[in-house]
Amino acid sequence: MEIIISDEVKAGIEGKALKVDEIKALINGAEASKDKITNGSKFLAKKKLGDVTVYADYSEEGGALKVNSVYAHKMILQDIVMDTADTEWTYVKTGAKIRKGHTNLSFMGATRSAPSLVDPASGESWLEEYLAAKTIAVAEMLFSQKRA
Amino acid sequence: MAEILGETSALCPVCLRTIKASKIAEDDKVFIVKECPDHGSWKVQIWSGTEHYKYLYEFAAVQKPPQKFFVKEKKECPQDCGLCNEHKQQTCLNVVEVTNLCNLNCPICFATANGCGYRYHPTIDEIKKMFQTILDHVKSPRVVQLSGGEPTVRDDLPEIIKAAKDMGIEHIEVNTNALRISEDMDYLKALADAGMDSFYFQFDGTDDKIYEQTRGRPMFDVKKKAIENCGIVGVGVTLVVTVSPNINLDHVGKIIEFAALNVPTVKGVHFQPITYFGRYPKEPEDKDRVTLPDLAKEIERQTMGMLKADNFLPTSCSNVHCDMKSLSIVMDDGSLFPLTTMALGPPTKTDDIADKTRTEVSKFWRFIEDSMDGPSDAGDSSWRSFVSRAKTHYLTVSAMAFQDVWTGETERWERCCIHMVTPDGRLIPFCLFNCTATDGTTMYRRKAFCR
């Protein structure tokens, strides 16, 4: 299926030092393996590219896949700390209901939790964009500067 | 071989007349060299690191002259200061002395409090007149430091603060030895209620042996109690350290460590290398002084590199050789990580340095503020709580090299932005106001305050 990426999203991808082809490969891989979650109107897929976990938020529109946004974090997803409630999301690969929860994230020797979408059965976690682009980005920046 | 870095003018330490002076580089040190036809010659070290001294000129901002001048007919800088149309920088800090009385009798005191032979204790109306001078001469936002003597000997200090706020002064800080703040909560609350914004705490170390030399008595418990009280009332404190190579230069790391442990009440540490004006034990030699680069190196060494010399930048508000500043986040293990570094290089547009600095810092905090959007998180062990902490747990470590009658020079005086306000409506650079000749004659202080 064709993957459509607007200039604005492309600029965001390049601003994160990622390549458009890498994002297309991420989406094609998620489509093939069904390793993605959906809330009925869009999909969220992730892939580790080097040290970075990259997410593609995309929708099916008129026979093509339109990329809504791409975001990333350097923190490493670890164990699920807890899960509290069902969400509107489903894990396409298994059909399991995705739960709201908390996952440990480790970065430069420190481990702390952050809210996440979780699948307790597989142990998989996904960070939502608001968190990855803000709180986690600030924390990564602060820690990177400390170690610089 | 000596390299001449520039020509300037200075003061004769004996007669206070204006004399020619040169700045020269020798053995990787910068000296001011001057000669009075009647009283001899002087060569005094003012900097360490010739290339660093030269490089800092690239950080010089295009300064904005004051709005109005008290002195209309200039004779010879710095003999009739007030300010005049040759002054190159607006006021950023207005110092208003509200008394020359003090509840201590320190061996070192720039104001020679309790020993100058006259009493200066203006009425509230006279103080209001000085506030009016500020309102007439300095553009908003006006920052006023109430100083002395010891301002807290005045029971009416809350009324003075309220009067300043009512007149439209935006920010008031009180410069204090903290003695009364440590023991009189009602008074502290009254100051806060009157609108005082922050304290400038004289703080020479974390060891009473230091205070016995600098203040003539143990004071560390007093300082700790005063900081605790400020935490209860919610008033921020900057620790102001007079640094002497003979007394507490080997203690600067411990002071920063103490400050970091006391954020958020403590907002910063401000080091002031000892300056020889007012009351001091003896005429200084170079070994009795510490330059800003040497202080920065000591900070790096004593903090085990946590805060490096390269983390200090000139504010560029006054002369680039007058001050240096760093900003760090205090981590939950008490360590610092700096957000400022010389590696960023000089600002590309120096004419808006103050605005640029403010914008960058505010953007950074705004970024942190925005990062707290979204659903709430759980527990102190979360990344959210870590980021939240960064918003409040920060520390500035800064320093200012005041100039005395030996080290002072026109290039720096005319770029000064820290001004004393006098009862007769003048604004005079702080260092110049306090310059004292070898016989104790002051350049401006006595003339301004002794009536």
Nearest CA to B386 out of A108, A22, A91, A72 is that of A108
Residue B407 in tokens: 């080290």
Interface test with B, best of A135, A141, A142, A146 (most B CBs within 10 A): A135
Q: Residue A147's pLDDT is what?
A: 45
For chain B, how many structural domains are there in total?
Answer: 1
Range of the structural domain that residue B155 is part of: 93-358+390-400
Check: CB of residue B435 under 8 Å from CB of residue B443. Answer: yes
In chain B, % helix, strand, coil (3-state, to 5) comes to: 35, 25, 45
For the stretch B199-246, pLDDT in tens is: 999 999 999 999 999 999 999 999 999 999 999 999 999 999 999 999
Domain presence at residue B241: yes
CATH number at residue B140: 3.20.20.70
Domain presence at residue B317: yes
Domain presence at residue B58: no
Q: Residue B363's pLDDT is what?
A: 63
pTM here? Answer: 0.80
Q: How far is residue B285's CA from residue A126's CA, in Å, rounded to a whole number?
A: 65
Domains of chain A: 2-73 (3.30.2310), 76-147 (no CATH)
Q: Residue A148's pLDDT is what?
A: 40
ipTM comes to: 0.81
Q: Residue B358's pLDDT is what?
A: 44
For the stretch B241-290, pLDDT in tens is: 999 999 999 999 999 999 999 999 999 999 999 999 888 878 899 999 99
Of A115, A128, A145, the CB nearest to B377: A115
Domain presence at residue B48: no
Check: CB of residue B25 under 8 Å from CB of residue B1. Answer: no
Nearest CA to B55 out of B381, B382, B376, B309 is that of B309
Residue A123 in tokens: 């142990």
Domain presence at residue B180: yes
pLDDT of B354 higher than 50: no
Domain presence at residue B328: yes
Domain presence at residue B367: no
Q: Do B383 and A146 touch (CB under 8 A)?
A: no
Whole-number average pLDDT of chain A: 92
Nearest CA to B231 out of B255, B206, B199 is that of B199
How many beta-carbon pairs under 8 angstroms link A with B? Answer: 62
Provide residues of A within 8 Å CB-CB of chain B.
75, 102, 105, 112-115, 128, 130-131, 134-139, 142, 145-146
Q: Residue A38's pLDDT is what?
A: 98
Q: In what order do the strands lie in the sheet with B29-36?
A: B3-11, B18-26, B29-36, B40-48
Whole-number average pLDDT of chain B: 90
What mean pLDDT is predicted for residues B31-53? 97
Domain presence at residue B80: no
Residue B34, strand partner residues:
B21, B42
